[in-house]
Amino acid sequence: MITMKEDQPRTLALRAQHAFSGRAQAFVAHQLGRPVAVEDVVSLVGRGRLYGLTTEQDLVRYIFVAVAAGAGDGAPDPEWVLDILCGPEGVTAQDRLLRLFDGAARRLPHVVPGITGG
């Protein structure tokens, strides 16, 4: 029988978070064609969780738009991002992300050509 030490679940969770942050940072930097600090990604993951985003895919989508819109490095999310992600109750995370991508397509076409919400 396999047994786990008391601190192993926490250690495994931290490793998973660290690995996700690295993957997210590499993906967003590649997609935007510019460097993105892993510290910004970690901060934006926390911010995304406050918006109710829970899956890695949803978090990466948010981070991508947030960085493209100028968030990170201590900068807050733009007002339009806040309006969408803090919108009315009862709107699913998926619907908020679709609205976020639609907003980004209107506001950031020169930064992120071809971005679409659906």
pLDDT digits (tens, 9 = 90+) for 58-99: 999 999 999 999 998 789 999 999 999 998 888 898 999 999
* Domain membership flag for residue 3: no
Q: Residue 83 belongs to what domain range?
A: 8-107
Distances (CA, A) of 43 to 38, 48, 50, 75, 95: 9, 9, 11, 11, 23
Q: What is the pTM of this model?
A: 0.84
* Domain membership flag for residue 62: yes
Are the C-beta atoms of residues 91 and 109 closer than 8 Å to each other? no
Tokens linked to 10: 């926490």
Residue 56: CB atoms within 10 A of its CB come to: 13
d(CA 100, CA 82): 10
What total of structural domains would you count in the chain?
1
Tokens linked to 15: 């490793």
